[in-house]
Amino acid sequence: MIRVVLPAHLRTLAAIQDEVTLQVKGKLTIKTLLDELEGKYPMLRGTIREHITFKRRPFLRYFACQEDLSHESPDTPLPEAVVSGKEPFLVVGSVAGG
Amino acid sequence: MSQVRVLVGTKKGAFILTSDGQRKKWNVDGPHFAGWEIYHIKGSPIDPKRIYVSQSSGWFGQIIQRSDDGGKTWHQPGTPAGSPTTTADGTPLAESNKFVYDTSDKTGKPLTTHQWYDGTQHPWEFKRIWHLEPSLTDPDLVYAGAEDAAMFVSKDGGKNWKELAGLRGHNSGKQWMPGAGGMGLHTILIDPKNPNRMFVAISAAGAFRTEDAGKTWKPINRGLKSQFMPDPEAEVGHCVHRIAFHPSKPDVLYMQKHWDIMRSDNSGDSWHKISGNLPTDFGFPIEVHAHNPKTVYVVPIKSDSEHFPLEGKLRVYRSKTGGNEWEALTKGLPQKDCYVNILRDASSIDTLDDCGIYFGTTGGQVYVSANSGDSWETIVHDLPAVLSVETQVFK
Protein backbone atom coordinates (compact mmCIF):
# COMPACT_ATOMS: atom_id res chain seq x y z
CA MET A 1 0.00 0.00 0.00
CA ILE A 2 1.46 3.33 -1.04
CA ARG A 3 1.22 6.16 1.45
CA VAL A 4 0.85 9.83 0.48
CA VAL A 5 0.99 12.82 2.80
CA LEU A 6 -0.75 15.99 1.61
CA PRO A 7 -0.72 19.58 2.89
CA ALA A 8 -3.51 20.49 5.29
CA HIS A 9 -5.48 22.53 2.75
CA LEU A 10 -5.58 19.65 0.28
CA ARG A 11 -6.62 17.20 3.01
CA THR A 12 -9.50 19.53 3.83
CA LEU A 13 -10.44 19.82 0.18
CA ALA A 14 -10.53 16.05 -0.24
CA ALA A 15 -12.10 15.43 3.19
CA ILE A 16 -9.09 13.35 4.24
CA GLN A 17 -8.16 13.10 7.90
CA ASP A 18 -4.71 11.61 7.64
CA GLU A 19 -2.44 9.93 5.11
CA VAL A 20 -3.86 8.75 1.82
CA THR A 21 -3.28 5.15 0.86
CA LEU A 22 -3.21 4.09 -2.77
CA GLN A 23 -2.71 1.03 -4.86
CA VAL A 24 -0.95 1.61 -8.15
CA LYS A 25 -0.82 -1.03 -10.86
CA GLY A 26 2.44 -1.31 -12.75
CA LYS A 27 5.52 0.85 -12.27
CA LEU A 28 5.29 3.41 -9.50
CA THR A 29 6.45 6.82 -10.65
CA ILE A 30 5.56 10.36 -9.66
CA LYS A 31 3.16 10.43 -12.59
CA THR A 32 1.42 7.13 -11.90
CA LEU A 33 1.12 7.99 -8.22
CA LEU A 34 -0.47 11.37 -8.93
CA ASP A 35 -2.72 9.85 -11.63
CA GLU A 36 -4.04 7.40 -9.05
CA LEU A 37 -4.35 10.09 -6.39
CA GLU A 38 -6.36 12.37 -8.68
CA GLY A 39 -8.50 9.45 -9.82
CA LYS A 40 -9.43 8.64 -6.26
CA TYR A 41 -9.82 12.28 -5.26
CA PRO A 42 -10.89 14.19 -8.37
CA MET A 43 -11.29 17.40 -6.39
CA LEU A 44 -7.49 17.55 -6.24
CA ARG A 45 -7.08 17.83 -10.00
CA GLY A 46 -5.31 21.03 -10.85
CA THR A 47 -4.18 21.67 -7.29
CA ILE A 48 -0.89 19.72 -7.39
CA ARG A 49 -0.22 19.64 -11.13
CA GLU A 50 -1.42 21.97 -13.85
CA HIS A 51 -4.43 20.64 -15.75
CA ILE A 52 -3.03 20.64 -19.26
CA THR A 53 0.73 20.43 -18.87
CA PHE A 54 0.75 18.26 -15.72
CA LYS A 55 3.66 20.38 -14.50
CA ARG A 56 4.08 20.57 -10.74
CA ARG A 57 2.59 23.78 -9.37
CA PRO A 58 5.51 26.10 -8.63
CA PHE A 59 5.02 26.43 -4.86
CA LEU A 60 4.71 22.70 -4.22
CA ARG A 61 7.50 20.17 -3.75
CA TYR A 62 7.74 16.39 -3.71
CA PHE A 63 9.80 14.48 -1.17
CA ALA A 64 10.36 10.82 -0.30
CA CYS A 65 12.96 9.06 1.83
CA GLN A 66 14.44 12.46 2.74
CA GLU A 67 15.16 13.14 -0.93
CA ASP A 68 13.83 16.12 -2.86
CA LEU A 69 12.11 14.70 -5.94
CA SER A 70 10.58 17.97 -7.07
CA HIS A 71 12.78 18.29 -10.11
CA GLU A 72 12.84 14.65 -11.11
CA SER A 73 11.16 13.52 -14.29
CA PRO A 74 7.53 12.49 -13.69
CA ASP A 75 8.48 9.09 -15.07
CA THR A 76 11.26 8.51 -12.54
CA PRO A 77 10.60 5.29 -10.57
CA LEU A 78 9.94 6.01 -6.90
CA PRO A 79 12.13 4.40 -4.22
CA GLU A 80 11.38 0.86 -3.11
CA ALA A 81 10.55 2.15 0.39
CA VAL A 82 7.67 4.14 -1.11
CA VAL A 83 6.53 1.20 -3.20
CA SER A 84 6.43 -1.03 -0.12
CA GLY A 85 4.71 1.61 2.01
CA LYS A 86 7.59 1.85 4.46
CA GLU A 87 8.03 5.52 3.63
CA PRO A 88 5.36 8.01 2.45
CA PHE A 89 5.46 10.22 -0.62
CA LEU A 90 5.19 13.80 0.59
CA VAL A 91 3.54 16.70 -1.22
CA VAL A 92 4.74 19.79 0.61
CA GLY A 93 3.89 23.44 0.27
CA SER A 94 7.06 25.50 -0.01
CA VAL A 95 7.70 28.66 2.06
CA ALA A 96 6.40 27.13 5.26
CA GLY A 97 7.63 29.79 7.67
CA GLY A 98 6.54 33.37 8.22
CA MET B 1 -40.35 38.88 6.63
CA SER B 2 -37.47 39.43 4.27
CA GLN B 3 -34.07 38.00 5.09
CA VAL B 4 -30.73 39.46 4.09
CA ARG B 5 -27.65 37.38 3.45
CA VAL B 6 -24.32 39.14 3.02
CA LEU B 7 -21.66 37.03 1.34
CA VAL B 8 -18.16 38.14 2.28
CA GLY B 9 -14.97 36.92 0.61
CA THR B 10 -11.75 37.54 2.51
CA LYS B 11 -8.05 36.80 2.30
CA LYS B 12 -8.55 33.83 4.61
CA GLY B 13 -11.98 32.40 3.92
CA ALA B 14 -15.63 33.23 3.32
CA PHE B 15 -18.18 34.47 5.82
CA ILE B 16 -21.95 34.59 5.61
CA LEU B 17 -23.69 37.33 7.55
CA THR B 18 -27.46 37.03 7.97
CA SER B 19 -30.15 39.28 9.37
CA ASP B 20 -33.81 40.05 9.00
CA GLY B 21 -35.06 43.06 7.09
CA GLN B 22 -34.33 45.36 9.98
CA ARG B 23 -30.60 44.71 9.52
CA LYS B 24 -29.88 45.38 13.18
CA LYS B 25 -28.92 41.98 14.57
CA TRP B 26 -26.53 39.85 12.58
CA ASN B 27 -25.39 36.27 12.69
CA VAL B 28 -21.83 35.65 11.50
CA ASP B 29 -21.15 32.23 10.01
CA GLY B 30 -17.65 31.16 8.99
CA PRO B 31 -14.95 30.91 8.02
CA HIS B 32 -15.86 28.70 5.12
CA PHE B 33 -12.82 27.45 3.17
CA ALA B 34 -10.60 28.66 6.00
CA GLY B 35 -7.17 29.79 4.98
CA TRP B 36 -7.99 30.21 1.27
CA GLU B 37 -8.37 33.47 -0.60
CA ILE B 38 -12.00 34.01 -1.55
CA TYR B 39 -11.92 36.55 -4.31
CA HIS B 40 -15.65 36.37 -4.87
CA ILE B 41 -18.80 34.69 -3.57
CA LYS B 42 -22.12 35.45 -5.22
CA GLY B 43 -25.60 33.97 -5.28
CA SER B 44 -27.97 33.37 -8.16
CA PRO B 45 -30.52 36.19 -8.50
CA ILE B 46 -33.35 33.74 -9.15
CA ASP B 47 -32.30 30.91 -6.82
CA PRO B 48 -30.89 32.39 -3.60
CA LYS B 49 -29.85 28.94 -2.39
CA ARG B 50 -27.44 28.62 -5.30
CA ILE B 51 -24.15 30.28 -4.39
CA TYR B 52 -20.89 30.21 -6.34
CA VAL B 53 -17.46 30.75 -4.79
CA SER B 54 -14.05 31.46 -6.27
CA GLN B 55 -11.53 29.89 -3.89
CA SER B 56 -7.84 30.21 -4.70
CA SER B 57 -4.35 29.91 -3.37
CA GLY B 58 -0.89 30.67 -4.65
CA TRP B 59 0.06 27.12 -3.72
CA PHE B 60 -2.89 25.10 -4.93
CA GLY B 61 -4.44 27.23 -7.64
CA GLN B 62 -8.09 27.73 -8.45
CA ILE B 63 -11.12 25.94 -6.99
CA ILE B 64 -14.78 26.61 -7.72
CA GLN B 65 -17.22 25.78 -4.95
CA ARG B 66 -20.99 25.71 -5.12
CA SER B 67 -23.77 25.55 -2.58
CA ASP B 68 -27.32 24.52 -3.41
CA ASP B 69 -28.66 25.12 0.09
CA GLY B 70 -27.81 28.72 0.84
CA GLY B 71 -24.30 28.08 2.12
CA LYS B 72 -24.96 25.24 4.55
CA THR B 73 -22.98 22.73 2.48
CA TRP B 74 -20.55 23.08 -0.42
CA HIS B 75 -19.12 20.97 -3.18
CA GLN B 76 -16.89 21.36 -6.19
CA PRO B 77 -19.33 21.09 -9.11
CA GLY B 78 -18.87 17.79 -10.88
CA THR B 79 -16.51 16.42 -8.29
CA PRO B 80 -18.38 15.94 -5.00
CA ALA B 81 -16.47 13.95 -2.42
CA GLY B 82 -17.20 10.26 -2.48
CA SER B 83 -18.85 10.22 -5.89
CA PRO B 84 -17.55 8.21 -8.87
CA THR B 85 -14.58 9.80 -10.59
CA THR B 86 -15.54 8.77 -14.09
CA THR B 87 -18.64 8.25 -16.15
CA ALA B 88 -19.76 4.73 -17.06
CA ASP B 89 -17.62 4.80 -20.19
CA GLY B 90 -14.55 5.86 -18.24
CA THR B 91 -14.55 9.53 -19.19
CA PRO B 92 -13.22 11.68 -16.34
CA LEU B 93 -15.93 13.68 -14.68
CA ALA B 94 -15.99 17.42 -15.04
CA GLU B 95 -13.19 19.45 -13.59
CA SER B 96 -14.72 22.61 -12.30
CA ASN B 97 -11.40 24.37 -11.80
CA LYS B 98 -10.19 23.80 -15.35
CA PHE B 99 -9.92 27.21 -16.96
CA VAL B 100 -8.12 26.83 -20.25
CA TYR B 101 -7.54 29.70 -22.61
CA ASP B 102 -8.84 29.09 -26.09
CA THR B 103 -5.97 29.09 -28.54
CA SER B 104 -7.71 27.21 -31.30
CA ASP B 105 -7.71 28.41 -34.88
CA LYS B 106 -11.50 28.16 -34.84
CA THR B 107 -11.75 31.37 -32.87
CA GLY B 108 -10.03 33.07 -35.76
CA LYS B 109 -7.69 35.10 -33.59
CA PRO B 110 -5.79 32.94 -31.13
CA LEU B 111 -4.06 35.36 -28.83
CA THR B 112 -1.08 34.41 -26.77
CA THR B 113 0.53 37.60 -25.47
CA HIS B 114 -0.36 40.88 -23.80
CA GLN B 115 1.72 43.85 -22.75
CA TRP B 116 3.90 43.38 -19.67
CA TYR B 117 4.83 46.08 -17.15
CA ASP B 118 7.97 46.97 -19.11
CA GLY B 119 6.15 47.22 -22.43
CA THR B 120 7.34 43.86 -23.77
CA GLN B 121 4.90 41.14 -24.77
CA HIS B 122 4.11 38.47 -22.18
CA PRO B 123 2.19 35.20 -22.52
CA TRP B 124 -1.31 34.90 -21.09
CA GLU B 125 -1.14 32.86 -17.86
CA PHE B 126 -4.17 31.83 -15.83
CA LYS B 127 -3.88 32.86 -12.19
CA ARG B 128 -7.35 32.96 -10.65
CA ILE B 129 -11.00 33.86 -11.03
CA TRP B 130 -11.68 37.35 -9.73
CA HIS B 131 -15.42 37.54 -10.28
CA LEU B 132 -18.36 35.19 -10.74
CA GLU B 133 -21.58 36.54 -12.26
CA PRO B 134 -24.57 34.20 -12.18
CA SER B 135 -27.19 34.61 -14.90
CA LEU B 136 -30.31 36.59 -14.10
CA THR B 137 -32.55 33.79 -15.39
CA ASP B 138 -30.78 30.43 -15.22
CA PRO B 139 -29.06 29.25 -11.99
CA ASP B 140 -26.82 26.88 -13.97
CA LEU B 141 -25.51 29.64 -16.22
CA VAL B 142 -22.62 31.58 -14.71
CA TYR B 143 -19.85 33.79 -16.06
CA ALA B 144 -16.35 34.09 -14.64
CA GLY B 145 -13.81 36.89 -14.97
CA ALA B 146 -10.21 35.69 -14.89
CA GLU B 147 -6.71 36.95 -14.27
CA ASP B 148 -4.99 37.07 -16.77
CA ALA B 149 -8.01 38.81 -18.22
CA ALA B 150 -10.50 36.62 -19.98
CA MET B 151 -14.14 35.70 -19.64
CA PHE B 152 -15.35 32.14 -19.16
CA VAL B 153 -18.87 30.73 -19.12
CA SER B 154 -20.37 27.61 -17.57
CA LYS B 155 -23.78 26.38 -18.62
CA ASP B 156 -23.89 23.42 -16.24
CA GLY B 157 -23.64 24.98 -12.82
CA GLY B 158 -19.87 25.38 -12.80
CA LYS B 159 -18.89 21.86 -13.87
CA ASN B 160 -17.31 22.88 -17.16
CA TRP B 161 -15.94 26.21 -18.30
CA LYS B 162 -15.37 27.57 -21.77
CA GLU B 163 -13.63 30.76 -22.67
CA LEU B 164 -15.60 33.40 -24.56
CA ALA B 165 -12.58 33.91 -26.74
CA GLY B 166 -13.96 36.80 -28.73
CA LEU B 167 -13.02 39.17 -25.92
CA ARG B 168 -9.31 38.34 -25.99
CA GLY B 169 -9.65 37.90 -29.72
CA HIS B 170 -10.48 41.55 -30.08
CA ASN B 171 -7.48 42.91 -31.92
CA SER B 172 -6.47 45.17 -29.04
CA GLY B 173 -5.27 42.37 -26.74
CA LYS B 174 -1.61 43.10 -27.28
CA GLN B 175 -2.12 46.55 -25.74
CA TRP B 176 -3.72 45.25 -22.54
CA MET B 177 -1.46 45.38 -19.49
CA PRO B 178 -1.65 44.43 -15.81
CA GLY B 179 -2.66 46.97 -13.21
CA ALA B 180 -0.94 46.99 -9.83
CA GLY B 181 -3.17 44.12 -8.71
CA GLY B 182 -2.72 42.08 -11.87
CA MET B 183 -4.55 41.94 -15.19
CA GLY B 184 -7.96 40.88 -14.01
CA LEU B 185 -11.44 40.92 -15.49
CA HIS B 186 -13.29 42.10 -12.41
CA THR B 187 -16.67 43.44 -13.49
CA ILE B 188 -19.44 41.67 -15.40
CA LEU B 189 -22.80 43.39 -15.83
CA ILE B 190 -25.69 41.62 -17.56
CA ASP B 191 -28.38 43.82 -19.09
CA PRO B 192 -31.67 42.64 -17.55
CA LYS B 193 -33.58 43.83 -20.60
CA ASN B 194 -31.33 41.97 -23.01
CA PRO B 195 -29.16 39.17 -21.55
CA ASN B 196 -27.16 39.00 -24.78
CA ARG B 197 -25.81 42.44 -23.90
CA MET B 198 -23.10 42.45 -21.27
CA PHE B 199 -20.46 44.87 -20.06
CA VAL B 200 -17.10 43.90 -18.60
CA ALA B 201 -14.19 45.84 -17.20
CA ILE B 202 -10.54 44.91 -17.06
CA SER B 203 -7.56 46.42 -15.27
CA ALA B 204 -5.83 47.71 -17.28
CA ALA B 205 -7.55 47.35 -20.59
CA GLY B 206 -10.80 49.21 -20.06
CA ALA B 207 -14.49 48.48 -20.55
CA PHE B 208 -15.98 46.30 -23.27
CA ARG B 209 -19.51 45.53 -24.45
CA THR B 210 -21.00 42.53 -26.21
CA GLU B 211 -24.38 42.41 -27.94
CA ASP B 212 -24.27 38.71 -28.81
CA ALA B 213 -23.77 36.95 -25.48
CA GLY B 214 -20.02 37.20 -25.60
CA LYS B 215 -19.15 36.12 -29.13
CA THR B 216 -17.86 39.54 -30.14
CA TRP B 217 -16.85 42.57 -28.11
CA LYS B 218 -16.35 46.26 -28.63
CA PRO B 219 -14.14 48.53 -26.47
CA ILE B 220 -16.23 51.30 -24.91
CA ASN B 221 -13.64 53.73 -23.61
CA ARG B 222 -14.18 56.93 -25.59
CA GLY B 223 -13.93 59.91 -23.26
CA LEU B 224 -11.60 58.22 -20.77
CA LYS B 225 -8.26 59.91 -20.21
CA SER B 226 -5.37 58.15 -18.48
CA GLN B 227 -2.22 60.16 -18.09
CA PHE B 228 -0.02 57.12 -17.48
CA MET B 229 -0.53 56.01 -21.10
CA PRO B 230 1.53 57.27 -24.04
CA ASP B 231 -1.77 58.18 -25.70
CA PRO B 232 -4.02 59.20 -22.79
CA GLU B 233 -7.15 58.75 -24.91
CA ALA B 234 -6.26 55.43 -26.52
CA GLU B 235 -8.99 52.94 -27.38
CA VAL B 236 -7.76 50.48 -24.71
CA GLY B 237 -5.29 50.37 -21.82
CA HIS B 238 -7.34 52.33 -19.26
CA CYS B 239 -7.37 51.12 -15.69
CA VAL B 240 -11.10 50.86 -15.06
CA HIS B 241 -11.68 49.88 -11.45
CA ARG B 242 -15.41 49.25 -11.53
CA ILE B 243 -18.57 49.94 -13.48
CA ALA B 244 -22.18 49.82 -12.28
CA PHE B 245 -25.69 50.50 -13.49
CA HIS B 246 -29.25 50.48 -12.26
CA PRO B 247 -31.21 47.51 -13.65
CA SER B 248 -33.97 49.79 -14.90
CA LYS B 249 -31.50 52.06 -16.73
CA PRO B 250 -28.89 49.73 -18.22
CA ASP B 251 -27.85 52.33 -20.77
CA VAL B 252 -26.59 54.62 -18.02
CA LEU B 253 -23.25 53.37 -16.76
CA TYR B 254 -21.20 54.71 -13.88
CA MET B 255 -17.49 54.09 -13.65
CA GLN B 256 -14.83 54.40 -10.99
CA LYS B 257 -11.67 54.66 -13.04
CA HIS B 258 -8.18 54.60 -11.52
CA TRP B 259 -8.65 58.34 -11.21
CA ASP B 260 -11.95 59.93 -12.28
CA ILE B 261 -15.58 59.09 -11.74
CA MET B 262 -17.22 58.76 -15.15
CA ARG B 263 -20.70 58.37 -16.55
CA SER B 264 -22.05 57.20 -19.87
CA ASP B 265 -25.62 57.80 -21.02
CA ASN B 266 -25.31 55.69 -24.16
CA SER B 267 -24.22 52.22 -23.02
CA GLY B 268 -20.57 53.17 -22.94
CA ASP B 269 -20.26 54.69 -26.40
CA SER B 270 -18.93 57.85 -24.75
CA TRP B 271 -18.10 58.91 -21.21
CA HIS B 272 -17.98 62.19 -19.34
CA LYS B 273 -16.45 63.05 -16.01
CA ILE B 274 -18.73 63.46 -12.98
CA SER B 275 -16.15 63.78 -10.18
CA GLY B 276 -17.52 67.24 -9.36
CA ASN B 277 -16.81 68.33 -5.79
CA LEU B 278 -15.21 65.08 -4.56
CA PRO B 279 -12.07 65.71 -2.49
CA THR B 280 -10.28 63.01 -4.51
CA ASP B 281 -11.62 60.88 -7.31
CA PHE B 282 -9.31 57.90 -6.94
CA GLY B 283 -11.06 54.81 -5.58
CA PHE B 284 -12.28 51.32 -6.30
CA PRO B 285 -15.99 50.51 -5.79
CA ILE B 286 -19.01 52.29 -7.19
CA GLU B 287 -22.66 51.43 -6.51
CA VAL B 288 -26.08 52.62 -7.65
CA HIS B 289 -29.02 52.87 -5.24
CA ALA B 290 -31.55 50.05 -5.61
CA HIS B 291 -34.51 52.35 -6.23
CA ASN B 292 -33.08 55.69 -7.38
CA PRO B 293 -31.10 55.28 -10.60
CA LYS B 294 -29.45 58.69 -10.19
CA THR B 295 -28.17 58.00 -6.67
CA VAL B 296 -24.58 56.82 -6.78
CA TYR B 297 -22.04 55.90 -4.10
CA VAL B 298 -18.23 55.97 -4.14
CA VAL B 299 -15.54 55.71 -1.49
CA PRO B 300 -12.75 58.14 -2.36
CA ILE B 301 -9.21 57.03 -1.59
CA LYS B 302 -6.32 59.45 -1.25
CA SER B 303 -4.30 58.46 -4.30
CA ASP B 304 -2.88 55.67 -6.40
CA SER B 305 0.19 55.57 -4.18
CA GLU B 306 -1.65 55.94 -0.86
CA HIS B 307 -4.54 53.52 -0.80
CA PHE B 308 -6.37 54.84 2.25
CA PRO B 309 -9.02 57.47 2.99
CA LEU B 310 -8.09 61.12 2.87
CA GLU B 311 -7.14 62.53 6.30
CA GLY B 312 -7.77 59.16 7.97
CA LYS B 313 -11.54 59.73 7.69
CA LEU B 314 -13.63 56.97 6.17
CA ARG B 315 -16.24 58.73 4.09
CA VAL B 316 -18.70 57.33 1.61
CA TYR B 317 -19.83 59.94 -0.89
CA ARG B 318 -23.34 59.98 -2.34
CA SER B 319 -24.64 61.82 -5.34
CA LYS B 320 -28.40 62.05 -5.84
CA THR B 321 -28.00 63.76 -9.18
CA GLY B 322 -26.13 61.17 -11.21
CA GLY B 323 -22.78 62.67 -10.27
CA ASN B 324 -20.99 66.02 -9.96
CA GLU B 325 -22.73 66.99 -6.70
CA TRP B 326 -21.52 64.77 -3.88
CA GLU B 327 -22.19 64.71 -0.13
CA ALA B 328 -20.04 62.99 2.47
CA LEU B 329 -21.71 60.27 4.53
CA THR B 330 -19.87 59.87 7.82
CA LYS B 331 -22.33 59.03 10.59
CA GLY B 332 -21.14 55.81 12.19
CA LEU B 333 -17.94 55.59 10.19
CA PRO B 334 -14.49 56.20 11.76
CA GLN B 335 -13.45 59.82 11.32
CA LYS B 336 -10.01 59.52 12.84
CA ASP B 337 -6.94 57.36 12.21
CA CYS B 338 -8.61 55.18 9.61
CA TYR B 339 -6.19 53.86 6.97
CA VAL B 340 -8.00 50.95 5.37
CA ASN B 341 -8.92 50.44 1.73
CA ILE B 342 -12.15 49.28 0.13
CA LEU B 343 -11.47 47.00 -2.81
CA ARG B 344 -13.41 47.07 -6.07
CA ASP B 345 -15.67 44.09 -5.37
CA ALA B 346 -16.09 44.85 -1.66
CA SER B 347 -19.32 46.82 -1.78
CA SER B 348 -22.91 45.94 -2.49
CA ILE B 349 -26.50 47.06 -2.10
CA ASP B 350 -29.68 45.27 -1.12
CA THR B 351 -33.11 45.71 -2.66
CA LEU B 352 -35.19 46.27 0.47
CA ASP B 353 -37.54 49.26 0.49
CA ASP B 354 -35.05 51.31 2.46
CA CYS B 355 -32.01 50.43 0.40
CA GLY B 356 -29.12 48.88 2.30
CA ILE B 357 -25.52 49.73 1.41
CA TYR B 358 -22.66 47.46 2.46
CA PHE B 359 -18.90 47.55 2.20
CA GLY B 360 -15.94 45.69 3.62
CA THR B 361 -12.44 46.96 4.28
CA THR B 362 -8.91 45.65 4.12
CA GLY B 363 -8.96 46.04 7.90
CA GLY B 364 -11.67 43.37 8.18
CA GLN B 365 -14.67 45.54 9.02
CA VAL B 366 -18.00 45.11 7.26
CA TYR B 367 -20.29 48.14 7.45
CA VAL B 368 -23.99 48.42 6.71
CA SER B 369 -26.26 51.37 6.21
CA ALA B 370 -29.94 50.41 6.37
CA ASN B 371 -31.06 53.87 5.32
CA SER B 372 -29.43 54.56 1.97
CA GLY B 373 -26.18 55.74 3.54
CA ASP B 374 -27.48 58.28 6.07
CA SER B 375 -25.93 56.34 8.96
CA TRP B 376 -23.71 53.31 9.29
CA GLU B 377 -23.17 50.43 11.69
CA THR B 378 -20.45 47.83 11.89
CA ILE B 379 -21.70 44.29 11.31
CA VAL B 380 -18.37 42.71 12.19
CA HIS B 381 -15.07 44.31 13.23
CA ASP B 382 -12.25 41.87 12.79
CA LEU B 383 -12.50 39.62 9.76
CA PRO B 384 -9.48 39.02 7.55
CA ALA B 385 -9.01 41.62 4.82
CA VAL B 386 -12.24 41.80 2.83
CA LEU B 387 -11.99 41.10 -0.90
CA SER B 388 -15.65 41.00 -1.87
CA VAL B 389 -19.14 41.71 -0.55
CA GLU B 390 -22.42 40.62 -2.15
CA THR B 391 -25.96 40.66 -0.81
CA GLN B 392 -29.06 38.57 -1.26
CA VAL B 393 -32.62 39.37 -0.19
CA PHE B 394 -35.15 36.56 0.07
CA LYS B 395 -38.31 35.59 1.94
Query: Which pTM was predicted?
Result: 0.94
Structural domain count, chain A: 1
**Does residue A98 belong to any structural domain of this protein?**
no
Q: The domain that contains A21 carries what CATH number? A: 3.10.20.30
Contact A59 B100 (CB under 8 A): no
Q: What is the pLDDT of residues A61-73, one digit of tens each?
A: 999 999 999 999 9
A55 touches chain B (CB under 8 A): no
pLDDT at residue A96 greater than cutoff 60: no
Per the structure, the complete domain to which residue A50 belongs is given by 2-93
SS3 label, residue B3: strand
Q: Is B3-39+92-126+174-394 a CATH 2.130.10.10 domain? A: yes
Overall residue count recorded for chain B in this entry: 395
The pLDDT, as a whole number, for residue B174 is 87
No. of H helices and E strands in chain B? 0, 29
Q: Report d(CA B163, CA B29) in Å as an integer.
A: 34
The pLDDT, as a whole number, for residue B387 is 98
A52 touches chain B (CB under 8 A): yes
Q: Give the residue extent of every domain in chain B.
A: 3-39+92-126+174-394
- Which residues of chain B are modeled with pLDDT < 50? none
Q: What is the pLDDT of residues A31-51, one digit of tens each?
A: 999 999 998 998 999 999 998
Which amino acid, B174?
A: K
The pLDDT, as a whole number, for residue B109 is 59
Q: Residues of B at the A interface (Cβ-Cβ below 8 Å)?
A: 34-36, 57-63, 76, 79, 81-82, 85-86, 92-93, 95, 97-98, 100
The pLDDT, as a whole number, for residue B78 is 81
Q: What is the pLDDT of residues B330-374, one digit of tens each?
A: 999 999 999 999 999 999 999 999 999 999 999 999 999 999 999
The pLDDT, as a whole number, for residue B270 is 98
**Does residue A37 belong to any structural domain of this protein?**
yes
Q: Which residues contact A48 (CB under 8 A, 6 or more apart)?
A: A10, A34, A37, A38, A56, A57, A60, A91, B60
Rg value, chain B, Cα:
20
Binned at pLDDT 50, 70 and 90, residue A97 comes out as low
Of B60, B82, B86, Cβ closest to residue A9: B60
Q: What is the pLDDT of residues A3-27, one digit of tens each?
A: 999 999 999 999 899 999 999 999 9
The pLDDT, as a whole number, for residue B117 is 86
Q: Report d(CA B43, CA B67) in Å as an integer.
A: 9
The pLDDT, as a whole number, for residue A64 is 96
Residue B150 DSSP symbol: E
